[in-house]
Amino acid sequence: MRCRPVKIVVLFAVSLCCTLVPAAAQRPAHVPRLGFLGMDPAMMAGFRAAFQDGLRERGYVDGQTIAIEYRWAEPGRFDQFPALAAELVQRPVEIIVTANAAAVRAAQQATTMPIVVAVMPEPVMRGFVASLAQPGGNITGQAYQETGLSTKRLELLKEAIPQLSRLAVLWHAAGSDARVLREVEEAAQAVGLVLHVQEVRDPSDLERAVGAAKTWGAQALVQLASPFFTLHRQAIGELLLTSQLPAMCETRLSVVAGCLMFYGASFEAMWHRAAYYVDRILHGTKPADLPIEQPKAFEFVLNRKTAEALGLPLPPLLLYQATEVLQ
C-alpha cells in the first residue's frame, strides 16, 4: 500500500513533463526583430498585409515567431525618415524593411545592417546597389522601373477612347523620372497623338494644371509616377472627374481615388515577395549575395464607376484584359 502514492507521483511527473516539453519546444530560442519603415499607415495597409501574408507562408507570425517594429512618417514628410531609421537601429532590429527612395536612402545612411526594399526605384542609378545581379552591399530586394510601360499604357487608353488624338501629361519634375516623360513623348508620336505636358510643382498647381489640360482640348490624361501624386491622389481624382478627363494613373491607389485606369507592376505582389528576402537573410544569406529581382506580376485596374461618371462605355475586350474592375 505504501508504494501507491509513489507510483502516482511518478506518473504525474511524467505526465507533466510530456505536457510541458511540446509547449517549450514550440517557443523559438530567438525571435527575430524587423524594422518596418514606411509612410502613412492607412495608405500602406494593403502593402503591410501582403508582406505579413508572405511572412506567414514562411512560418513567421508577428508577435509570436517574429517581432516587427513599425515606424511611420507623416504623409509627405520625407524629411522624417532619417530620424525614424535611426530609432529602428537603436531598438535594435536585425533587418530594416522599406520602400520609397527617400526611406531607402535614410536607412542606408543610418546602418550597415541588412535592408530589404520591397519596391526599389532605379536602384543602380540611385547608387543603392552596384548591380542587379550582384548588389554588393547591405541592400537587396526588388527593382521597379517606370520605363518600358508607356506604349502599353497608351494602347489601353486608346482602346477605351478610340477617337483619342490629344493627350495631356501630368508631370511632377521633382519626383517623376524625366526618362519616362521622354518615353511617353516618343510613344505618343509613334501612335499619332498630340501631347501637352503640364508640370506640377506643389499642391496649388494641381487645379491649374488639370484645368489647363482641359482648356487645351485634352481628351485624356497620363499621370507620371511620383510620390507627390500618390500623396495627393484624392484631390487629383476629384479634379479629373470634375474636368471629365479619363486618365491613366500611377498606382492602383489612384484608381481607388477616382482615376479611370492603372497598368503596371503589382506593388502588393512585390511586398509579398519581400518576405522571401527576409527569410533568406534570417537563414544566413548576405544581402550582397541576393540578386535584385524585377517585378513578375503586373495588373491592369479599371474603375467602372468613374467610367460611368465620365459617360465612357468600356469595351468588352478592355474589361476582359483587366485584372481588377472596381465597382
For 81-140, the pLDDT digits (tens) are 999 999 999 999 999 999 989 999 999 999 999 999 999 988 998 899 999 999 999 999
Does residue 317 belong to any structural domain of this protein?
A: no
Q: Which residue has the cell 474603375?
A: 303
Do 154 and 188 touch, CB atoms closer than 8 A?
yes
Strands ordered across the beta sheet of 220-223: 194-200, 166-172, 220-223, 247-249, 261-265, 298-303, 324-326
Q: Is residue 153 part of a domain?
A: no
**Contact by Cβ (8 Å): 295, 121:** no
Cα torsion 37, 42, 47, 51 to 10°: value is: 60
- pTM confidence score: 0.86
Instruction: Indicate the number of domains in the chain.
Output: 1
- Residues 45-57: what's their mean pLDDT? 97
Read off the CATH number of the domain in which 70 is found: 3.40.50.2300
* H and E: helices and strands count for the chain: 13, 12
CB 259 within 8 A of CB 284: no
User: Is residue 281 domain-resident?
Assistant: yes
Assigned C-alpha cell, 5: 502514492
Task: Evaluate whether residue 215 is within a structural domain.
Answer: no
Q: How far is CA 210 from CA 224, 244, 247, in A?
A: 14, 10, 11
Mean pLDDT of the chain, nearest integer: 90
Asked if residue 242 has pLDDT above 70, the reply is: yes
Cβ atoms of 225 and 176 within 8 Å: the answer is: yes
Closest CA to 187 of 234, 142, 147: 147
Residue 287 in domain: yes
Quote the pLDDT of residue 173. Answer: 84
Closest CA to 62 of 229, 278, 211, 315: 278
- Domain range for residue 135? 33-146+267-298
Tell me if 70 is assigned to some domain: yes
Residue 180 falls inside a structural domain: no
pLDDT of residue 179: 85
pLDDT score recorded for residue 250: 87
The answer to whether residues 326 and 256 touch, using CB atoms and an 8 Å cutoff, is yes
For residue 326, what pLDDT band results from cuts at 50, 70 and 90? very high
The answer to the question of residue 49 being in a domain is yes
Band of residue 27 on the pLDDT scale cut at 50, 70, 90:
low
Sign of the CA dihedral with 197 first, then 202, 203, and 208 last: negative
What confidence tens digit (pLDDT) does each residue in 154-170 have? 999 999 999 999 999 99
| Greater pLDDT, 293 or 12 | 293
